[in-house]
C-alpha cells in the first residue's frame, strides 16, 4: 500500500518541501506552522527535532535549534503537540533529527509513536545506511515509516545505487558539501552533479536540499529533480516576520 509520501511523489508536479525547527520561534508554534504551510500549498513538511550538536546545519538552523531547546522542546513535547495533527493536516509529514535522541527514546517506541501520530517518514543524517539496513529497516517498515537518505556530490555511484536499492520514498540530494543556508545560486559544478544523478535513472525520485532560497533556485533544482527543500530561508522568514506571513513566503516560490 502506497503511503502519503509515495502518493505525493506520483503527482504530476514539482514538489516543494519546507523544513522548520519544531518549537521555534516559540514552543507552541509547531502545529500552526504546519497548518499554515499546508494551506499555502506546500507538498511536504520536514519537522526538525532540535538537537544540541547539529553537524550538517548552518548557523540559521543551529540558532533555531538552540532557541527551540531553550523554549523547552523535546521529543516527548513534540509528540504531544502532534498527537491530533492528522485531524487537520493531510500532506506528508517527515521528522528530521539526529539518531541519538531517537536511541534514547527507544527506536521501537519512537517508530510506534510516529506511526500512531501519522508521521510518514524520517530523515536521520547521522544514521549510516548499512547500520539502518542491518539493524533498523525491519522496525521502520513494520511501522509504515519511510526512511530517507542523503547523498552529496562526494557520494560514490556504488553507494548511491545501494541507497536507492533500500529506499522506498525519495532520495535527499544535498546540493553541495557545505552546511545548510550557506550559498546562493547553483554553479556549473552543482548543475553537472544534478544532471549526473538524474542520468543514473534511479528507482526513487530525488529531492534537492541545501542552497534553495527563492523561486530561481527552486526552479533550477527542479529542472533535474522531482522537488526541492527549503529550510534556512524559511526559518529566516519566520525569524524576521513572525509566523503570520507564511503564505507570503510560499507564494514567492511557487506562484
Under DSSP, is residue 105 helix (H, G, I), strand (E, B) or coil?
A: helix
Of 11, 57, 158, 248, which is the active-site residue?
57
Q: What is the DSSP string of 193-246?
A: HHHHHHTT--SS-EEEESS--SHHHHHHHHHHSSEEEE-HHHHHHHHHHTTTTH
What are 19's strand-pairing partners? 46
Nearest partner of 185 among 218, 161, 208, judged by Cα: 218
Cell readout for 43 is: 507538498
Under DSSP, is residue 84 helix (H, G, I), strand (E, B) or coil?
A: coil
Residues composing the chain: 255
Q: How many CB atoms lie within 10 A of CB 42?
A: 23
Residue 67's alpha-carbon distances to 23, 24, 25, 62, 64, in angstroms, are 8, 7, 7, 9, 5
Torsion of CA 110, 113, 117, 119, to 10 degrees: 30
Concerning whether 116 is annotated as a catalytic residue, the answer is no
Cell readout for 92 is: 506528508
Pairing mode of beta strands 121-123, 93-96: parallel
| Residue whose cell numbers read 509529514 | 93
User: Is residue 231 within 8 Å of residue 211, measured between CB atoms?
Assistant: no
Concerning whether 57 is annotated as a catalytic residue, the answer is yes
Of 46, 84, 188, 216, which is the active-site residue?
46
Residues annotated as catalytic (active site), given as ranges: 46, 57
Amino acid at each position: 500500500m502506497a503511503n502519503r509520501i509515495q502518493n505525493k511523489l506520483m503527482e504530476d508536479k514539482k514538489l516543494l518541501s519546507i523544513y522548520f525547527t519544531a518549537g521555534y520561534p516559540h514552543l507552541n508554534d509547531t502545529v500552526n506552522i504546519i497548518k499554515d504551510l499546508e494551506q499555502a500549498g506546500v507538498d511536504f513538511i520536514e519537522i526538525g527535532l532540535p538537537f544540541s550538536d547539529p553537524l550538517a546545519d548552518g548557523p540559521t538552523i543551529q540558532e533555531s535549534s538552540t532557541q527551540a531547546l531553550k523554549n523547552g522542546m523535546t521529543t516527548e513535547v513534540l509528540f504531544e503537540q502532534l498527537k491530533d495533527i492528522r485531524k487537520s493536516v493531510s500532506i506528508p509529514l517527515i521528522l528530521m533529527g539526529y539518531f541519538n535522541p531517537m536511541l534514547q527514546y527507544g527506536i521501537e517506541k519512537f517508530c510506534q509513536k510516529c506511526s500512531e501520530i501519522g508521521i510518514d517518514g524520517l530523515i536521520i543524517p547521522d544514521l549510516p545506511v548499512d547500520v539502518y539496513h542491518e539493524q533498523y529497516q525491519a522496525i521502520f517498515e513494520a511501522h509504515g515509516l519511510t526512511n530517507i537518505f542523503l547523498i552529496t556530490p562526494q557520494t560514490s555511484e556504488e553507494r548511491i545505487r545501494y541507497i536507492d536499492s533500500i529506499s522506498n520514498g525519495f532520495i535527499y540530494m544535498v546540493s553541495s558539501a557545505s552546511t545548510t543556508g550557506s550559498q546562493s545560486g547553483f554553479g556549473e559544478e552543482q548543475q553537472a552533479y544534478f544532471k549526473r544523478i538524474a542520468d543514473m535513472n534511479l528507482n526513487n525520485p530525488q529531492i534537492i536540499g541545501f542552497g534553495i532560497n527563492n523561486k530561481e533556485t527552486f526552479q533550477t533544482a527542479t529542472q533535474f529533480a522531482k522537488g526541492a527543500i527549503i529550510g534556512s530561508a524559511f526559518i529566516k522568514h519566520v525569524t524576521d516576520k513572525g509566523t503570520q506571513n507564511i503564505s507570503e513566503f510560499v507564494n514567492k516560490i511557487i506562484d
